Structures are given as structure tokens and as C-alpha cells.
Structure 1
Amino acid sequence: MNIPRHMHHHPYTAVGNEDVSVIETEVVVIGSGPTGATYARKLVDAGIQVYMVEIGAQETLIPGDHKKNNYIVQKNLNNFINIVNGELDELSVPTNKQSVPSLDPSVWSIDPHQGTIANGQNPFQDAYYNIPSAAASRTVGGMGSHWTCCTPRQHPKLERSNLFNSEEWDRLYTEAEERIKTNSTIFEDSIRHQLVKHVLQDYTYGHGEREFIPMPLAVQKFPDQTYLEWSCPATVFGHITRTPDRPGSKLFTLRPQARCTRLIRNKMEGPNSGVVEAALCKDLKTNKPFIVRAKKYVIAAGAVLTPGIMFNSGWDDNSNELPALGRYLTEQTMAFCQVILSRDLVDKIPKDPYNLGWKEKVERHMARHPKDVLPIPFNDMDPQVYTPLSENYPWHTQIHRDAFSYGQVPATVDQRLIVDLRWFTWVSPEKKNCVSFSHEITDQFGMPQPTFNFQVPREDARRAHDMIEDMCNVASKLGGYLPGAEPKMLQPGSAIHISGTTRAGTSKEDSVCDRYGRVWGTDNVVVGGCNVIPTGAACNPTLTAICFAIAGADKIIEELSPKNKA
């Protein structure tokens, strides 16, 4: 572990009767996902010392690398599905209380009134109000190690909050796009991308004011590489992390497989009230606790684990310090299907109906592979098309290929013919939609067990119905449904876009922090992540979460500048 020499270790006896080592730094960041990485990079570049604690292991040589930055995976997306499934831990599983009449009567059986609590099973969870696909990704890079990399800006009227004005939002989005390497041009050379885009444009131009355009994606393609490089926390970290090719910054330490258990708070009356004095952590490999003392504490551990750490630190229901903590939870409703491109569309490809130079590509492919029956080169990139959210079509769409547990393609179906359609719309923030925590039971990682209370409001449910109808109309223009992947609404949490649980605002009555992520009633605690986004949104939230992280990091830099340190 790369610990700068000016970080001091000494015994600390404030935790029970056990002496623990203490690490001193300027800022501690809890969580290594895209927002945690944004905080770390900006602070280190400003000359501020950062110590990052991550509960998960470092599974790649480059810390926080995308698991899709692998040639084998890019050759066959189905290989990626098991990776994603393996990274996700379900957060709240209602205890199975079903009786098994055929069970051997001599064996232990579940008490129907109690159940078990192992592996995330939660006797407090009402299945009807659960978010069953809600999950956390505990690894260096967090969700950013396997995300879709779709980075649209929020709609200025339908999604975006007014905590920043339009000029401020534009500046934040521009910087966020630069840090995560967003572009919309890489797939323009793809035959299938252009085919899907033009077919749907031809359809919609005759039916209204809708655009089907290239999806903004955080991805790069370098001239000397035969595959894509998907952006991720490693992209944001840049030079500050240690890799086989560089030593990393002396101002930055990443400590994986270490759990932040809680923040140690000073609750005494007086000038130091509201100050966090330390973060109590545990090395999960040795099971030994340690303390990190800092000037600022940034919690960026995800939309559910972040409020869980805060709950464990004393911001619970009994304190009434933060009545909005865990509340106003939003998660998008999501519709999905997969289509096999129609014979008519595939037959159009050699004719190059849009004069985009397809004939030469197809002829080269057929000459090299005379037994291939498809006029699509093997290295032709997948389509990446979307429609921005609009007032007439209030949902975000993605027409592309990606790999999730609900999108696996049988080996007998040629991947080049498959197009995924994913439609998302927002759920309005409501106080009663929430995640709560328990001191009575813990999750499998020793932290307070989360329990969800979530329902889709009626107006949002009607919009979701209209959304799936629209998805079916669009799908019909491309082909027929892949058997088993016909149009369906996915169960809550499938988008993995939970937001709002530590929402930003202007008052502690209905928010947890200000627009810079500074927690109400504290002087040195900041929260980051999708949990800070205060509005219901249909589009992917990561870019907007990075915007809030940029604003929060800039404020920390300002507060820790030499003139304010004096």
C-alpha cells in the first residue's frame, strides 16, 4: 500500500478497549466509483492529500478499469453477463417463509414467523414494497467497472434541478464530459449503427418531431487498438493511481478491501459541534479496525450504502437531524426487448441505400469469408442509437447492444442480428419512497441491513405504460422479437439507477445536503453519487452525479486553500 510519509500512524483508544492505528490525511473518500474518483482526481490535482477507502477488492491491474476493456469480452458480449452478475450483490431479499411439506421431518426447517438473515435475507422486507433488483457493486471502481457508459445530459425542464443555473450546468456538464471522455462519433462507421439510425429516422420524420441520433457514450478507440476502450473510474483517476506503468501520486492512497463502518462524530455543544473527528474503518483481510482522521470526509459509496454509513454514524430516525435521509428515493421504470433484424433490412445492406460506402466493406468481407451468409463484417461495431427525452416522448431510450442478465443471446443466434431496446422513464420523488436501516440485523458485510419501501405513483405508472407501447412501435420497424426477449417491464431496480437518498436541496426538511454535497448540520462531511440527485430523471444519472462531484470538489478546494487554512 502506498502511504505517503507524512501520514502518521499511532495508537487510538477511543474505540472500545482496543488500540487501533490512526492514519491522518487531508480528505478521506469512501468509495471508488465514478464520483469518488472525480473527487480524488480533482483534489489531488489541486495539491490536496486524499486517502480512499473501498470495501471491494482491486480486480484489475489498472485500479477501477472497466471489465469490458477485454478483447475476449468484446468479441462475445455473452461472456460479460456472468461478470456483471458476479459483481452485483442484492441489497434486500425478503426471507423465504414458504413451507416445504415434502421436507424430511427430522431436519431443521425455517420458522415461518422468523426466517433466516444470511446473505442479505431480510425479515423486515415486505416483498410488495421491495426493489428486488437493487444491488451494490463492491469492487474497486464500483458500478463504473461494468456500467453502460451512456452519458446524456438531463433535460433542462423535465429532469434537471434548479440548484445550478443554466450557465453553471453547462460548465459542469462540459467538464464532466471531458473527464469521462464522452463522444457521439465513434460508431458512425458502423453499418448496423447507420442502418438502425436511418431506418428509425425515416419512420419518425413522417410521424412528428422526434430524433434518433448517436448515443453519447464514454468510450474511446485508439488507432493502434482493435477494440474499444470504455471509460470508467480508471479513466477519471488518470495519473494519480499506481499501475504497472506508473508510480501514481504521492498524495493519493487507495486502500481496497477496507470497510468504512461509521464516522466518529463530536456531538458536544460548542464550536466543534457538527464536526466529524474520524472515520472508523476495518481491514477486511485482517479483521482489524483502523482510524482515518481528516479535515473533510466524502462518502461516495452508492445510493444505498452511503445513507447506510450515515445511519450507522448516528443520523438515524431517532435523532431527527436529517429527516430526509434515505427518503425521496427514485428509481426508473424500465422496459426491455430484443429484436432480430428483419430480412428486408439485412438485404438492403449490400445495396448501400444511404450512400455511406457500405458496398466496399461488404465486398471485402464476402471475399475474405465466402461462407458467411450475412453481409455484415465481423468487426462491424454494434448500433448505439438513442432518442433524447422530450415533452412528447417523456422517456429515455437506448437502441444498442449490451450485456445484462436479462439480455443473453443464445449461441445459435448470430450476435450481429440482435438489437436491444431499453426504455427508461422517471419516478417522481416522494417522501414515502425510501430506504431505511436496522441496528437489529446487519447485511452480509456487517453493516445495517437496508429495507425498501417503494411504489410507483399512479401518474408515473401511466407514463410507463405509454413508454412500453412506444418501444413496441419502434421495435416493429427493426424486426421480430428474439424468443424469450419479447417486450416486458423489468422488475424495480433493474436500471440500477437509484437516486435521491441523500438528495441535495436548500433545506434539511426535504434534503440531506446543499448543492455542493455538504451535509446539513456538519462542517466537514460531504456526500456524492446518484444519491445526491434530487429530481426524478429518465436518463442515465452518472454524468449528472459527476457534475455534483465536480461542484463539491471545487468547494472543498476553495475551503482548504491556503488563505482559508490560515
Structure 2
Amino acid sequence: MSLPLSCAYDVVVVGSGPTGSTYVREVFEQCPDARILLLDAGPKLGDPPGGHVKNIADDDLRARAQRAAEGPAPARPGRPGTRLLGTPQLPAAAVSTNVGGMGAHWTAACPRPGDSERIACVPDDAMDRHLTRAEELLHVTSHAFDRAPFADVVRQRLSARFDRGRPLARRVVPMPLAVTARADGTHTWSGTDVILGPAARDSRVEIADSCLCLRVLHDAGAVTGVSVRDVGTGQEATIAASAVVVAADALRTPQVLHASGIRPAALGRYLNDQPQIVHAVRLPDDVVATADTVTGRTRAEEGGIVPQSGVSWVPFTAAHPFHGQVMQLDASPVALADEDAVRPGSIVGLGWFCAKDITAEDRVTFSDTATDAFGMPEIAVHCRYTDRDLDSIEGARKAVAEAGAALGTPLGEAPFLLPAGSSLHYQGTTRMGAVDDGTSVCDTFSRVWNTRGLWVAGNGVIPTATACNPTLTSVALASRGAGALVEYVRDRAATAVGSTAA
């Protein structure tokens, strides 16, 4: 990819994952004259740009796309489509570098946060509106696996174990998923192509892949643009912009701000990585034998996933301070059993996420001398489990064991804790806050303190100890922030018109 075609834009968005794409879509729809540049350091994996790799029917093409997302060689591959950072305290920490970001690889789980997962500094009614908008942008549904033959039995057994004493809204239900069911019952998984919609093919929006943002440029407390490098050629350029949104994930967004000399006291701090307990269970033979199973396939011939046991959700509550998801193995990002050795759908994976005890000492820092594979400041992670975390992990382990016993025959000796960083749900490093008191990086509309025209986006903005999958929440916050950005762009345009008229 060559460098951007223009040298000036109304809005530059750094990072093409779900939240960066949300800013593009909202500005595109509400500011019909705005010119928008969407940057990503990684390549396009296919057409449409930002599509989910699960929608690629050919196994070889899908694997090739996943390898392309790992970043420059030599890479340390993590989960398919990711690159390990190699940080000792968070050994499974990994990132994707491609158009669409992690939105090209995610499980598409979109639960709403509840109880203490809610963000205190955003009014509940406003947050609910933003969550609804996020569900619209992501095409979220709770009915994706209605035709899955084992799903009802799985949920009935989970409900019998966990629903007692829960409010109606926090009982076991099908997991809300960002997918679209096809007529034959298979699925199209939402990537950022779904969020971008018509913006992805409009001349007002330019998508520059393999184009690395080196720094956000600023002067007198306001952004002036970005400095970028073509990853392939090494050519650098300066791009002028009225506003910049940095949405490069919870590890690389603070990296970009650090490299730019924009360093609020809370930058990189309050890192939240959700400890994850996993297990696998074989459903009883009578359940499998009596269900109207699929024809022995785990993937449809034209791509997508064949419904089997679906994805169920055990929500977080104050009494059950974990988020549980139970899913058929081909929908799970963690390989827990050999699918080919058993009847399709007869084994389900269980994953329970814990809400991390958030402290300022859990953080990412950046070197002023050493650099990473892209030539950016090298990332170091400082993170540990507190006594409260260890108690929570043991509680989750017991909950997973109880869920497994309720469902069927557990495989393996016991539920186990994945290496730190395995959740890929990193949060808090550019957290929002109601006031600029040194404990937040941005305000409740994601505007970076003391730098006009600069927004941050992504899971890093979430300030709360959450256990649920964070994408829906971060897209909701991006939609909220985009409302403020739209006003900013309109005001700048009106000022420019007024100056011309004068």
C-alpha cells in the first residue's frame, strides 16, 4: 500500500478494529462533507476489508490470512491471527496487526455489562442508548444458534445450576453474538466490514493498510495531524488533520501516545487482564443420540459454522462475580479437545472470566531506547495477581467444575487457569474518568485531557473491573465519543466557513 493519497483530512483514525471503525462510520453518516483517513499498520486480509476470517471457507486461505495478521517476521505466533509480545508477567499477551484488528478474529460475543461492570461515570440511560447503537453496528443477535440441536439442553442444565436467586435479566441465556444467520442455518461473523458498512467503499473514506502511525502531531495543546510510515517501503509522510482518534488497542494506543510525547499520569496504568478458567465437557450419550444432529460436519461447505450446541452465557452478578460462556468447540478460540475424534457437537468448551482487581501498579510502560518489530517504543508489562484475584480465580474454578458436572462428563483432571494474558481482553490503559485528577487519560466522551482534537478508543478506555467480553462496551463508548467528535468537526467546519465569509 502506498501512503495516503491526500496530505490533509478532517479526521484521521489510527487503528481499524471495531472501535476505530465505529468512529469512521458515525462521522461518515453525520458529517457528509468530512474527509476521513483510516490507518492500519497491517495488511488487508481479503475483500471486503475488515471481514472476519471465519467467513473464509477455504482452510488454506483462512490460515494464510491468519498468518498475515501476525505482523513482521520473525513472529512469535500466539492464538491464530495473533503475535505474542513476549512479556514475562503477561506471557500470553498478543496482538493482531491487520485491517479489522482483532475484529477479524474474535469470538463475536457481545454481552451487556451488569452490576458493578457498569461504568459509573457514564449515566445509565445514556450508556444503554450507546449499547443499543453498538448492537446495531455489530449486528448482534441472541438467536444465531436457535437451530442448534444441543443448545436447549445445555442451557436448561446451566439454568438449573445457576439461575436460582438471580434477577431475570441476569439468568442463563443464549450468548448475544455479532453474527448473521444464513438461510441454511450457518453464519456470517461480523468483522469491522459490518461496522463500516457503506463507508468502506465511499470516496470520502480512505483505508490505508500497511501504514504505521509513528506519532500524533500537536502544537499549543491541539492536534495538527499524524506522522506515518509505509511499512513496505519505509517512506514517511506528515498528514494534517483537524482531529485524530487513536484506536490501536489497549497496548498500542498508549504506545502511540507515549511516542507522541502525550503522557498523562494515568497513561498505561490500571491494566485489566481478565483471568480465564477453562474446561471441556462431553455431553451425555442420550442427549447426543436423541438430538437431530448435523451431518458430521463442523464447518459448512461454503464457510461458517454449523449449529450444534451453540453459545450460552452465564452472566456476571455480585453473587457470581464471573462471566461464563459455554460454546461448541469450533466457536471457541481455545482448543480443548480433538473435534475430529468425537461426534460433532458432543463436546462443549467452558470458559469463565474473572474481574481483575484493578490497581495503578498493573500497567504497560515504554522504552525510550529499545524498539519493537515496527520501530515503536518497546512495550513492557507489569502485572500481578492480588490476593483478591487469587480468591476470585479459585471461585471461578469451582463454578466451572459445577457447570461441567451439570452438563455431562468433564474431560481432563480439573478446570485450569490459562496463562496470564490469554483473554486478549486488555482494558484500562487509556481509561476514562469524570475529572482530570491523574487517574484517567480521557473524559467520559473519550477526549484526551488537555489535547484538543484528540480521542482515544478501544477496550483501554473502559475504567471498570469487568468480567464480560468487552467489545460491545468499547464500541458503545466509541459511539458516544463519536458524537462529541461530530460536534467538533461541525464546529471546525462552521468556523472555517465563517472565516472565509469574513
Write the distance in 2 (CA, Å) between the matches of 1:302 and 1:36: 9
Deviation at 1:410, TM superposition (A): 5.1
Post-superposition shift, 1:411?
2.8
Number of residue-to-residue matches in the alignment: 472
Q: Given that residues 120 and 443 in structure 1 are in contact (C-alpha distance below 8 angstroms), is that contact kept between their aligned partners in structure 2?
A: no
- SS of 1:544's equivalent in the other structure is helix
Which of residues 445, 457, 468 in structure 2 aligns to 1:539?
Answer: 468
User: What's the secondary structure of 1:521's corresponding residue?
Assistant: coil
Q: Residue 53 of structure 1 contacts residue 260 of structure 1 at CA under 8 Å; is this kept in 2?
A: yes
Q: Where does residue 385 of structure 1 map in the other structure?
A: 312
Map 1:277-316; keep pairs closer than 5 Å.
277-316=224-263
Say if 2:222 is the partner of 1:264.
no
**Matched residue SS, 1:548:** helix
- Residue 452 of structure 1: aligned partner: 381
3-state SS, counterpart of residue 189 of structure 1: coil
Tell me how far apart the structure 2 counterparts of residues 138 and 294 of structure 1 sit (CA, whole Å): 23
Q: Which residues of structure 1 form unaligned runs of 5+?
A: 9-22, 95-118, 242-247, 267-272, 317-321, 351-360, 370-377
| Paired residues for 1:334-483 under 5 Å | 334-347=276-289, 349=290, 361=292, 379-401=306-328, 402-407=331-336, 409=338, 411-483=340-412
CA distance in 2, matches of 1:239, 1:3: 23
Paired with 2:323 and 2:61, the residues of 1 have a C-alpha distance of: 27
Distance 1:206 1:59, change over 3 A: closer
- Alpha-carbon distance in 2 for matches of 1:403, 1:87: 19
Aligned-CA RMSD value: 2.8
Corresponding residue SS for 1:555: helix
Instruction: Give, in angstroms, the shift of residue 496 of structure 1.
Output: 0.2
Matches of 1:159 and 1:151, distance apart in 2? 14
User: What is the match of residue 150 of structure 1?
Assistant: 109
Question: Which structure's CA Rg is the greater one?
Answer: 1
- Unaligned residue ranges in structure 2 (runs of 5+): 77-82, 297-304
**3-state DSSP of counterpart to 2:194:** helix
Q: Aligned pair in 2 of structure 1 residues 132, 121: CA closer, same or farther (>3 Å)?
A: closer
The 8 Å contact of residues 194 and 383 in structure 1, kept in 2 or not, is answered as no
Match of 1:99 in 2: none
Do the aligned residues in 2 keep the contact of 1:345 with 1:478 (CA within 8 Å)? no
Change over 3 Å in CA distance of 1:344–1:83 after alignment to 2: farther
Partner of residue 171 from structure 2, selected from 211, 224, 238: 211
Match of 2:254, SS state, is helix
Q: 1:415 Cα deviation (Å)?
A: 3.0
The residue identity in structure 1 corresponding to 2:171 is E
The reply to whether residue 220 of structure 1 matches residue 156 of structure 2 is no
Could you tell me which residue of structure 1 aligns to residue 271 of structure 2?
Answer: 329
Alignment correspondent of 1:20: none
**1:226-275 CA deviation, whole Å, 9 max, x = no partner?**
6301111010011111xxxxxx2111000000100112232xxxxxx112
Structure 1 CA distance, aligned partners of 2:41 and 2:226? 14
CA contact (8 A) 1:81 1:403 kept: no
Specify the alignment match of 2:51 in structure 1.
Answer: 65
Q: Name the structure 2 match of 1:551.
A: 480
SS of residue matched to 1:191: coil
1:198 counterpart letter in structure 2: Q
Which of 236, 241, 263 is the matching residue for 2:195?
A: 236
* Aligned counterpart, 1:51: 37
Match of 2:144 among 186, 190, 195: 186
Among all aligned residue pairs of Structure 1 and Structure 2, give the percentage whose two residues are the same amino acid. 30
Answering whether residue 13 of structure 2 is matched by residue 29 of structure 1, we say: yes
SS at match of 2:448: coil
Report the more deviating stretch, 38-47 or 411-420: 411-420
Change (3 A) 1:85 1:283: closer
Return the offset for 1:379: 4.7
Amino acid at match of 2:246: I
Matches of 1:486 and 1:282, distance apart in 2: 48
Residue type of the partner of 2:453?
Answer: N
SS in 2 for 1:497: coil
Q: Is the 8 A contact 2:280 2:337 kept in 1?
A: no
TM-score of the aligned structures, taking structure 1 as reference length: 0.78
- Structure 1 residues 218, 344: closer, same or farther in 2, change over 3 A? same
Pick from 404, 407, 424: which aligns with 1:496?
424
Which letter maps to 1:132? Answer: P
Query: Residue 456 of structure 1: SS of its match in structure 2?
Result: coil
Q: 1:509 aligns with which of 438, 459, 484?
A: 438
